Amino acid sequence: MTAISSDPIDILRSRTSEKWAEHPEDVLPMFVAEMDYPLAEPIKTALHDAIERGDAGYVASSNPLGDAFRGFARRRWNWDLDEARLLSTADVSMGIVELLRQVTKPGDPVVITPPVYPPFFDLVREAGASVETVPLTDAGDGLRLDLSGLDRAFSSGARAIVLCNPQNPIGHPHSRDDLAALAELAARYDVRVLSDEIHAPLVQPGATFTPYLSVSETARASGFALHSASKAWNIAGLKCAVLVAEGDEPSGILDGMPYEVSWRTGQFGMLASAAAYADGEDWLDGVLEAIAGNIRLLDRLLRDHLPEVNWQRPEASYLAWLDFRGCGWGDDPAERILREAKVALSPGPGFGEPGAGFARMNIACSPELLEEAVSRIAAIPRGSGESTPPADRRGRLPAATP
């Protein structure tokens, strides 16, 4: 498989989305989860054809998304969803909020497992619940779910958990054993599991993604999965996600959702996602090859130029979780890196308390841009910097100062 190349820098600078519009042109943007690769041809064709037809209305109740996703899940993960209940909505975040509104009451504790996608904190509160954190634990071979901590949280009254699988920002697909153990704990304490699996298509060769609902009847009895083509095919702005249920109770909850939950799906998002799942795997494999090359490159660059920085090589996604604590740059090294190196990373503290001293780097870019970013960061003097402001919960950086 030939790796896909990034778009030229002049094309990237002409983009109006968050990654390339948030900062001045002297800043290398490596923060928000957008890729620098060209749009997949099947997606471009689907969108052009829709525009030619004037097909920009509401999403129909009968559309190709469900069959396309079922086929992709079967081919990619050997996950049979023929009997599953699928429901589309605008995005995974919206799906999490709407599901939490169905399975919790106001004030109920909901568990999240930092370091984790920053909006999880806000999504739980938006649903009217309260956040309870059970940080990942270091088992000696990398971070993983703290099953003992989850047991304590569930036994103390937590009603749901929002799982991130694969885990953003560390790029870790949770093991089948850990997922099965989580399902047993959830069943024991009558806890609902909402598994955000948005990064699942981006698992690297040699690694394994296990869908939460595939691990056992226990998981299916009370769990939900949330999927989207948005991260893997770089179409977040088109607004489409898929909620998945297999057990009787979860399927009934999807059936009872307000009509507007599905009505919010974007027509272009549905068409693009169906094209991605049905015909976009060759493009995806090329992207995975490019990301694998950048993982190897970043590993070498860190050893050669930033030996104080540690990291756990991601098995999924295109996000690198970098430990800058050895550099002495404070709790939010991204602030100093932006100010002095003009490289925009996502601030670690936004991912929860374990993120102090860390930053997340988006490496879905050209090797040249990655090399330039590390070179700029390596030029910053080691040692303490100025005090830093609180991190944005969405992981976005403060504006650069002159």
Q: What is the pLDDT of residues 18-69, one digit of tens each?
A: 999 999 999 999 999 999 999 999 999 999 999 999 999 999 999 999 999 9
pTM of the model: 0.94
CA–CA distance, 121 with 277 (Å, rounded to integer): 30
pLDDT value, residue 394: 41
Structure tokens at 371: 């090399």
Mean pLDDT of the chain: 95
Could you tell me the domains of the chain?
9-40+282-378 (3.90.1150.10), 43-279 (3.40.640.10)
- Torsion sign, CA atoms 23, 25, 27, 29: positive
pLDDT value, residue 140: 83
pLDDT higher than 80, residue 391? no
Q: Token pair 């050997």 is at which residue?
A: 78
Element (H, E) at 362: strand 358-362
What are 81-109's pLDDT values in tens digits?
999 999 999 999 999 999 999 999 999 99
What are 222-241's pLDDT values in tens digits?
999 999 999 999 999 999 99
Cβ contact 37:7 at 8 Å: yes
Residue 88, classed as helix, strand or coil, is: strand
What are 194-212's pLDDT values in tens digits?
999 999 999 999 999 999 9
